[in-house]
Structure 1
Amino acid sequence: MSDRNRSFRLVVNKGAQPLSIAGLYLVTDQGENLVERVRSALRGGVSVLQYRAKHKPPELCRSEGSELKQLCRSFGVSFIVNDDVSLARDLDADGVHLGQDDESVGRAREQLGPGKFIGKSTHNLDEALQAEQEGADYIGFGAMYPTGSKNVTHIPGTAGLSAIRDRVRLPVVAIGGITTSNACRVIDAGADALAVISSVLSSPRPDLSACELRLLFNRQRPFPRGTVLTVAGSDSGGGAGIQADIKTITLLGSYAASVLTALTAQNTRGVSSIHGLPPSFVMDQLDAVLEDIPVDVIKTGMLHTPAIIAALAERLTERQTMTALVIDPVMVAKGGAALMECDATQIFLKQLLPLAYLLTPNIPEAERLLGTRISSEAHMEQAARDLHRLGAANVLIKGGHLAGQHSTDILFDGTECRSFTAERIFTNNTHGTGCSYASAIAAFLAQGEPLGCAVKKAKDFITAAIRMARPLGKGHSPINHFAAVRQR
């Protein structure tokens, strides 16, 4: 066989990462179906599980704890037992977490042996330093905020956490009342891990809630911060599609990986032809990236065919650990060419849309998905709620197709609607707006911004990119990614 025809493949395998106390630290509750809820949360990216079995019979603690430990093993997650050193020893747990009134760190170490984590709850600097002196491996510190899971008499809060951060060399697990709305402040104050209970386990989707909290830790990473994988079609003119995605993600400070679904012969005047790629090759690209590169957010654009949509949905469902999915339901090009085959819509609605962390349709796309007309902001709100009922966790309806002096987008998070408004810019230089907007949101999510902040920053970016666009070509000119980023 000649060298020209020979295929070489070099695979470098790095060893598994050791268990650690960092990231999302989940404490179990006393509710029903605990194992299944924990399984879902682990899929969302929990790093440590603490089994808290208050008032349960010893036999149940051992059987339930054993099942949870095996789950943790399969996900590569640290398994800690709350308070009970004997149970931790019987289960061969990775460690035990002790309260201030429990036995000493030294005594727990004698019973569990070397190589096990010993954590200690603390409420002030003196207790934290004492735990460190006793040989604890990490400390719990709090409460950060009031919580319903226990009687809290002392709340040092984020100010107290900031005050001890430079004095304690151990990993700090922040405890008490932490939710997605306040977690960023706790991380910024110096927490290595966030201990949560109800904000994940009481959620109808523990996997999504865990994934959302896990991403917030990326805010402490160096740039390029976070990785976004875009699954989309190519725009040979470079204004939209995967080219616009990569420009946006890279310029905003994240790492961009890509999976091509289709090739288009396209310029600012329109799409002259489309060559869809085989679904098997699309999946080959996806697998190659995901088996090697840690991806924080997946963003989809032009998926083109029912087969690609179905294959993508199946592959994402099969993955052990979920990744936040931002879906831009690209259906029609700026010039009017159909980018999604007609019979793909129902498959999209049934198989892929329910996997969305965020769905970002413009008004024509939302109308097509719902089979209804949208002519006002009130209609946009209703459409967002309707698409949420179809399974998308969060829905952003983009209002650029309405008339008026302002362009308003509506975000529905399953509980409330929020508006994001900017002055409308009357211009034809809007090629790539939808692709770039969704990619900007994905990039900010990957960088550890909560959803509302990610949408606000992306809205500011896309508005500036439209305002600063310059004529290029003879049709709808592309937006100005570079200038928009420079003015940030």
Structure 2
Amino acid sequence: MIKGLYVITDSDRDGNLAARVEAALQGGARVIQYRDKELPAERRIEAARQLAGLCRKVGATFIVNDDANLAAACEADGVHLGQGDGTVAEARKILGHQRIIGVSTRTVEQALKAETQGADYIGVGSIYPTGTKQDTELVGIDTLKKVRRAVKIPIVAIGGIDRERADEAITAGADAVAVISAVMADPFPSLAAREIALQFNRHLPYPRGRVLSVAGSDSGGGAGIQADLKTITLLGAFGSSALTALTAQNTRGVRGIHPCPEDFVADQIEAVLSDLGADTVKTGMLYSAEIIGVVARALKRRNLLTVVDPVMIAKGGAPLLQQQAVDTLLARLLPLTYLITPNIPEAEAIAGLKVKTEADMEVAARALQKLGARNVLIKGGHLPGPAVDLLLAGDSVHRFGAERLETPNTHGTGCTYSAAIATFIAQGMPLVKAVEKAKAFITEAIRSAVPLGSGHGPVNHWQAAKAVISDE
């Protein structure tokens, strides 16, 4: 089956191709296409057999580029042919009718011809400019849409696709998206693969996507695990949880904290991930160095996109993260973090910088990225003026602004915002879109908050979910 993330290999210049392919498979790649024209024939067969074995272990499809004889020799699942690399009929004579044959196309006419001649799937590209083939012909997203309307066999969108561009190609009708450098050149191929592979979750029925919240309980129901599960469920995903601490709190503040034994936190995480699984993990109140260590060990064994909300201080001022735990967060959890979502005081505490302006926010975001976080979202609600959040996604900075809403009813804002981001990513949105939609969600949750209690009331998860879902 040709569907999902389709990774084309680059050359084995570092002698580490198999490890990078294995990481991509762990991250969710469903098809691997082996392409290396530099190795001698005997070494190519050896390398191809090794990669085929890795694919078989996880049930992924292994395709050889251009060479049907090599595909037969290494017992690949099939071959992908360029326009000048032989015909489908010739490949069938070598591989038989049980193997998969794909054909690269650039026009509707070529796609229809390949389908008529018996191709099992077609590649369409180059969709975007690419640095891997200097002589490639750009066909664009409109051609992809036309081909989708014309043929019934699976389509692989090829060329210049990365995390953000995959979204447009999938929306245009691609059954799979092919990438090379976006995964193979990334320092962490498993994470790079995961963030693209998850975008195919948009085709799943509801509840769409699985989100594990690792956080403390809020007896008042406005923040913590309770806020996370409300958010995840109302937005249409499946939520599970691992409690790190129990709190006795209401809108006026925290009366007491009872941390869970770290072994029990580990048991909860393992129980969920070994059975139900998760597409994303969202962490909130972790409380102690010991609990952070447990969470880091559990996450390190798996390739999950983790959204870390570094909960440090409750709305009423009570500390929710022990001081000695900050060092453990920096050393153990931050290097495993896909996205960290601190507010201004939290960003200052972690990065060791003062943040007084939007420019300071970007400086702090880059400092947190250097400390290990893959992406950083700094929430600017503590600065005067409009509520502006700054996302550092890779090397790109994105600004998300909203009007400032003067209200005391903001309890659970951070938990809810980060849980919404984790949910949208699990449901198939790329990072920038997920943050944009989560920003709209939390803004409406604050705007529509109904006063409950006599302190900082909770945000309105129900009304916010109705608002953002009705926009779809």
Q: When the two structures are superposed, what TM-score results if normalisation uses the length of structure 1?
A: 0.91
Unpaired runs of 5+ residues, structure 1, are: 1-19
**Paired position in structure 1 for 2:236:** 253
1:109 to 92, 114, 130: 92
Rounded to whole Å, the distance in 2 between the matches of 1:41 and 1:266 is: 43
When the two structures are aligned, how many residues end up with a matched partner? 466
Structure 1 position 375, deviation (Å): 2.3
Question: Structure 1 residue 133: deviation in Å?
Answer: 2.7
Is 1:400 aligned with 2:385? no
Write the letter of the residue equivalent to 1:339. L
Contact 1:433 1:479 in 2 (8 A): yes
Match of 1:121 in 2: 104
- Residue of structure 1 aligned with 2:323, choices 342, 355, 376: 342
Which residues of 2 match residues 2-13 of structure 1 at below 5 A?
Answer: none
- The residue type equivalent to 1:398 in the other structure is K
Q: Does 1:23 align with 2:4?
A: yes
2:43 maps to 1:60: yes
Distance in 2 between the 1:416 and 1:150 partners? 24
Is the Cα–Cα contact under 8 Å of residues 361 and 397 in structure 1 kept in the other structure? yes
1:165 pairs with 2:148: yes
Query: Once the 2 structures are TM-superposed, how far is the Cα of residue 168 of structure 1 from its aligned partner?
Result: 1.7
Partners of 1:470 and 1:438 in 2: how far apart? 21
Matched, 1:378 2:337: no
Work out whether residues 143 and 152 of structure 1, in 8 Å CA contact, stay in contact via their aligned partners in 2.
no
Post-superposition offset of 1:429: 0.7
Match of 1:419 in 2: 399
2-structure distance, mates of 1:481, 1:64 = 52
Counterpart Cα distance in 2 of 1:177 and 1:318:
31
Give distance in 1, aligned partners of 2:66 and 2:328. 49
SS in 2 for 1:272: strand
2:201 counterpart residue number: 218
Q: Which residue of 2 aligns with 1:434?
A: 414
SS at match of 1:260: strand
Alignment of 1:165-244 (within 5 A): 165-244=148-227
Q: What's the offset of the Cα at 1:240?
A: 0.3
Read off the aligned partner of 1:325 and give its amino acid letter.
Answer: T
Of 270-279 and 27-36, deviating more is: 27-36
3-state SS of paired residue (1:412): strand
Offset of 1:259 from its aligned partner? 1.6
**Does the 8 A contact of 2:222 with 2:458 survive in 1?**
yes
Shift of 1:344: 1.4
**Maintained 8 Å contact 2:124/2:144:** yes
Write the letter of the residue equivalent to 2:157: A
Residues 238-387 of structure 1: pairs in structure 2 closer than 5 A? 238-319=221-302, 322-387=303-368
The amino acid that maps onto 1:29 is: D
Tell me which amino acid in the other structure corresponds to 2:457: S
Larger CA deviation: 450-459 vs 45-54: 450-459
Task: Look up the equivalent residue of 2:5 and give its one-letter code.
Answer: L
- 8 Å CA contact retained: 2:231, 2:419: yes
Contact 1:231 1:301 in 2 (8 A): yes
Written as runs of structure 1 = structure 2, the 5 A alignment for 1:133-148 is 133-148=116-131
1:478 and 1:138 mapped to 2: Cα distance?
A: 51
- 1:37·1:201 contact (CA, 8 Å) conserved in 2? yes
Mapping for residues 35-54 of structure 1, pairs under 5 Å: 35-54=18-37
How far the C-alpha of 1:151 sits from its partner, in A, is 4.8
Q: CA RMSD in A?
A: 1.8
- The offset of 1:391, in angstroms, is 0.5
Secondary structure of 1:474's partner?
coil
Query: Partners of 2:202 and 2:317 in 1: how far apart?
Result: 39
Is the Cα–Cα contact under 8 Å of residues 143 and 154 in structure 1 kept in the other structure?
yes
- How far the C-alpha of 1:142 sits from its partner, in A, is 1.9
Pick which of 116-125 and 225-234 moved more. 116-125
Counterpart CA distance in 2 for 1:453 and 1:472 is: 32
CA shift digits 1:288-322 (9 cap, x unpaired): 22222242211111112222211221121112xx1
**Mean Cα displacement is larger for which, 455-464 or 112-121?**
112-121
Separation in 2, partners of 1:406, 1:295: 35
Q: What is the match of residue 462 of structure 2?
A: 482
Distance, in Å, in 2 between the alignment partners of 1:473 and 1:58 is 74
Q: Secondary structure at the match of 1:342?
A: coil
Matches of 1:416 and 1:110, distance apart in 2: 49
CA contact (8 A) 2:393 2:432 kept: no
Is 1:409 paired with 2:397?
A: no
Percent same amino acid among aligned pairs?
55
Distance in 1 between the 2:192 and 2:118 partners?
33
1:5 corresponds to which residue? none
